[in-house]
Amino acid sequence: MGERLQRLLDGAEKETQAKIVEAEQKAAQMISKAKTDAERRRTMAQRGYGIDELLKEAEKKATKEAEKKLNEYKKQAEVVKDVPEEKIMEAVALVLKEVLPQ
């Protein structure tokens, strides 16, 4: 039983080490790619080239963010639509009562 447990532990340790090495390699590749891309952008900006490309990328990113926000607002609007009109009228009456003098 002890030998079997030790073999399982050794196997698990080897597997864990392999996953750690793989993760480190992927992280190093991602960092390298990001550095290369940042250097390319910096060089292009210094030379005045590629500004259109950078603007297009920024516009795409802004458009995606805007679409995301629009969808969030639509969901919130749907929640408000589900509130019965009677509840809305009660809220309006309460606000008017509090704000307007009697």
pLDDT greater than 90 at residue 5: no
CA distances from 13 to 3, 16, 43 (A): 15, 5, 45
**pLDDT band per the 50, 70, 90 thresholds, residue 4:** confident
Report the sign of the C-alpha dihedral through residues 53, 57, 60, 62, in that order.
negative
Note whether 45 and 51 are within 8 A (CB).
Answer: yes
Q: What is the pLDDT of residues 30-67, one digit of tens each?
A: 999 999 988 988 887 788 777 777 788 889 999 999 99
Is the pLDDT higher at 24 or at 3?
A: 24
69: three-class secondary structure by DSSP: helix
Look up residue 49 and give its two tokens. 């080239």
Q: Where are the domains of the chain?
A: 1-49, 62-102
pTM: 0.42
